Chains A and B, each alone.
Chain A
């Protein structure tokens, strides 16, 4: 009871705390600015893309002929390329990222953990055009032989022969996915490391005390608790992979086609915008902005589902 007046003094409405209020409104303005900027981006880009949307109708996302010189803008093949390259990248990156995160949180000594963490974070600091350059000059010419070998080795195996069939190009979906996988590994690793670190030590100790091996303890005590965070890590990685532009544009081979062959060229939405923007005019330009809108919707959907999953699992853990 005695302390109440003191608290009032601190939070009271006296003229002394105008600074607080000013700070509060500045902070509020900054927070609101995010909404305003997002809203304006959504509004302007949809507005600018409208000629293409009304020209193509729903065909903009359901047909796959992207032929600017004939005024055909069907983005399905680009959407496919974006999704396929991102999913392939996840398949390559997630096991490695989770492995690194588990190693750092469960196995490594603090010193080693710190070293590994900062090395992984360094990967995130490399500009994406540098990855692109490395991929065009070093990766693409050198993986071609491997692709060709896989192609001929699996020629008579069903499923695999359609995946590895077609052409074996250095500039292909697979090469783009390898680059993407490297680029998204830092974000997935650091987010899943945080998710794993939130699991209470006592849970693991309990599992071990009941006779579980270390792997079993991770499986029954760590993974279930961290599931939300791990899923969010994967989804944010996916969002990053879908939005990546220049490194992908440099190695994917830019051929708008829907193909199962992962060693064949494809094209993504972001990459197409980047490469065709310079010479685009009129409805072609509108269509490229339209790709931006579709991509925007995709990434918003992915990011908000990641948030939703985290929030839901947090609530579950709390109850």
Chain B
């Protein structure tokens, strides 16, 4: 009896406490102040960044090399996805963000100032497969759209045969493997299909409505793993990971009607022919021209045009300059295609727009 009374009283008290706490927290949210970090003159400057996991490898490689030359500047690139990078930059939690896609118009209001895009590299996305006895596979955009919409369900389908004259294709069932996490790779892969295959109906995006019974896997490595384990599987994997995993990659038909296997040269060729807008954003999917690998994903560094912190602004400018010059020679060593000279020059010129202080 006694314990029961106690419990009831405690519950009442607790309920009151919750109400009070909620009231307090509601009031508190208005009066919060943001602390501005202070920067010491000659001390070490750390540039914090988050965003695109696709460019993380390049950022880390470049940051290390940059730090070796400029020991006073450290760059901490945290990854986490393009969306996280944009959100963090909008909240001024980071000094720059990595992103695989421009900011949507609807989200522009979240940012506290004008933004600058700096393209830093591009890389091919490979269509990988596992099929015994088939070492060379050619796929047109229409066929890929048919496969990834489950309209083509076996490997000996007439559409695949038409792309691969003379190849003996088995009747194995096709298993579609896609990213289960929201991903810039999915976004760029579907952008290609939207651009190149009229029959593609799933639109583009970080996650799309994949057909029933397709398999979702985590990250590029998850898709690579899943495809290599499943006979008859097909998936799309970032070139660096596909290469590392030693996977079979299909040659894709480009606009010049050539069969193009994923390569850094193919990605670089794609960037040469894109229509670059004034803010240096562009769409690289299904670019025209000879030697182009059509599923090419560009990536940008996103910064505020006005840098209020002098030390950080100066360091950021120096790092961006490094990324666009010497950093470009590092890109191929970690499986990214360097920017074409013309585009790099435009980006270097844009550094002048970065206002410091």
Binding site for B on A (CB under 8 A): 31-32, 35-36, 39-40, 43, 65-70, 72, 136-137, 140-141, 144, 166-167, 169-171, 249-250, 253-255, 257, 259, 264-265, 267, 271, 275-282, 284
Instruction: Report whether A69 and B87 are in contact in the complex, using a CB–CB cutoff of 8 Å.
Output: no
Instruction: Report whether A69 and B207 are in contact in the complex, using a CB–CB cutoff of 8 Å.
Output: yes
- In the assembled complex, the CB of A169 is this many whole angstroms from the nearest CB of chain B, namely 6
Instruction: Report whether A279 and B215 are in contact in the complex, using a CB–CB cutoff of 8 Å.
Output: no
Instruction: Report whether B214 and A39 are in contact in the complex, using a CB–CB cutoff of 8 Å.
Output: no
Instruction: Report whether B82 and A250 are in contact in the complex, using a CB–CB cutoff of 8 Å.
Output: no
Known: A171-B226, A255-B215. A69 touches B22 (CB 8 A): no
Instruction: Report whether A275 and B218 are in contact in the complex, using a CB–CB cutoff of 8 Å.
Output: yes
Known: A39-B21, A40-B25, A275-B181. A281 touches B83 (CB 8 A): yes
Residue of B nearest to A251 (CB): B217
Instruction: Report whether A257 and B213 are in contact in the complex, using a CB–CB cutoff of 8 Å.
Output: yes
Q: Which residues from chain A contact B216 at a C-beta distance below 8 Å?
A: 171, 253-255, 265, 267, 275
Instruction: Report whether B207 and A276 are in contact in the complex, using a CB–CB cutoff of 8 Å.
Output: yes
CA distance A69 to B18 in the complex (A): 38
CA distance A267 to B209 in the complex (A): 13
Most buried by A among B21, B22, B183: B21
B184 contacts the other chain (CB 8 A) = yes
B27 contacts the other chain (CB 8 A) = no
Most buried by B among A40, A140, A255: A255
Which of B9-17, B247-255, B331-339, B345-353 binds A? B9-17
Instruction: Report whether B83 and A278 are in contact in the complex, using a CB–CB cutoff of 8 Å.
Output: yes
Known: A32-B13, A255-B214. A40 touches B209 (CB 8 A): no
- In the assembled complex, the CB of B68 is this many whole angstroms from the nearest CB of chain A, namely 30
B229 contacts the other chain (CB 8 A) = yes
Residue of A nearest to B52 (CB): A279
Q: Which residues from chain A contact B39 at a C-beta distance below 8 Å?
A: none
Q: Of A68, A254, A279, A280, which contacts B217 at CB under 8 A?
A: A254
Instruction: Report whether B209 and A70 are in contact in the complex, using a CB–CB cutoff of 8 Å.
Output: yes
- In the assembled complex, the CB of A260 is this many whole angstroms from the nearest CB of chain B, namely 12
Q: Which residues from chain A contact B218 at a C-beta distance below 8 Å?
A: 249-250, 275
Instruction: Report whether B180 and A280 are in contact in the complex, using a CB–CB cutoff of 8 Å.
Output: no
Given A254-B215, A276-B182, 19 new contacts (CB under 8 A): A32-B14, A35-B15, A36-B21, A40-B21, A137-B225, A170-B229, A253-B180, A253-B217, A255-B213, A255-B215, A259-B212, A267-B216, A271-B180, A275-B180, A275-B218, A278-B53, A278-B84, A279-B181, A281-B87
B67 contacts the other chain (CB 8 A) = no
Known: A43-B22, A141-B229. A69 touches B180 (CB 8 A): no
B102 contacts the other chain (CB 8 A) = no
Residue of B nearest to A29 (CB): B17
Which of B198-206, B258-266, B284-292, B321-329 binds A? B198-206
Instruction: Report whether B215 and A36 are in contact in the complex, using a CB–CB cutoff of 8 Å.
Output: no
Residue of B nearest to A68 (CB): B207
B86 contacts the other chain (CB 8 A) = yes
B175 contacts the other chain (CB 8 A) = yes
Q: Which residues from chain A contact B217 at a C-beta distance below 8 Å?
A: 171, 253-254
B81 contacts the other chain (CB 8 A) = yes
Number of interface residues of B (CB under 8 A): 47
CA distance A297 to B30 in the complex (A): 29
Q: Which residues from chain B contact A276 at a C-beta distance below 8 Å?
A: 180-182, 207
Count of inter-chain pairs, beta carbons less than 8 A: 129
Instruction: Report whether B203 and A167 are in contact in the complex, using a CB–CB cutoff of 8 Å.
Output: no
CA distance A262 to B45 in the complex (A): 54
Instruction: Report whether B204 and A69 are in contact in the complex, using a CB–CB cutoff of 8 Å.
Output: yes
Residue of A nearest to B177 (CB): A171
Most buried by B among A72, A166, A265: A265
Most buried by A among B25, B190, B210, B212: B212
Within B158-214, the residues touching A (CB, 8 Å) are 173, 175, 180-184, 190, 203-210, 212-214
Q: Of A32, A39, A167, A278, which contacts B22 at CB under 8 A?
A: A39
CA distance A276 to B215 in the complex (A): 15
Q: Which residues from chain B contact A137 at a C-beta distance below 8 Å?
A: 225
Instruction: Report whether B214 and A279 are in contact in the complex, using a CB–CB cutoff of 8 Å.
Output: no
Instruction: Report whether A279 and B213 are in contact in the complex, using a CB–CB cutoff of 8 Å.
Output: no
Q: Which residues from chain B contact A282 at a C-beta distance below 8 Å?
A: 106-107
Q: Which residues from chain B contact A281 at a C-beta distance below 8 Å?
A: 83, 86-87, 107
Instruction: Report whether B213 and A280 are in contact in the complex, using a CB–CB cutoff of 8 Å.
Output: no
CA distance A141 to B18 in the complex (A): 49
Instruction: Report whether B226 and A265 are in contact in the complex, using a CB–CB cutoff of 8 Å.
Output: no
Q: Of A35, A67, A70, A250, which contacts B14 at CB under 8 A?
A: A35
Residue of B nearest to A250 (CB): B218
CA distance A166 to B215 in the complex (A): 13
Known: A279-B183, A279-B206, A282-B107. A255 touches B22 (CB 8 A): no
- In the assembled complex, the CB of B210 is this many whole angstroms from the nearest CB of chain A, namely 7
Q: Which residues from chain B contact A280 at a C-beta distance below 8 Å?
A: 83, 182, 206
Residue of A nearest to B18 (CB): A39
Q: Mark B70-92, 1 if CB is under 8 A from A, else 0.
A: 00000000001111101100000
CA distance A40 to B26 in the complex (A): 11
Closest 7 interchain pairs by CB?
A: A69-B205, A254-B216, A279-B182, A254-B180, A278-B81, A39-B18, A67-B209
CA distance A253 to B214 in the complex (A): 8
Most buried by A among B106, B204, B218, B230: B218
B222 contacts the other chain (CB 8 A) = yes
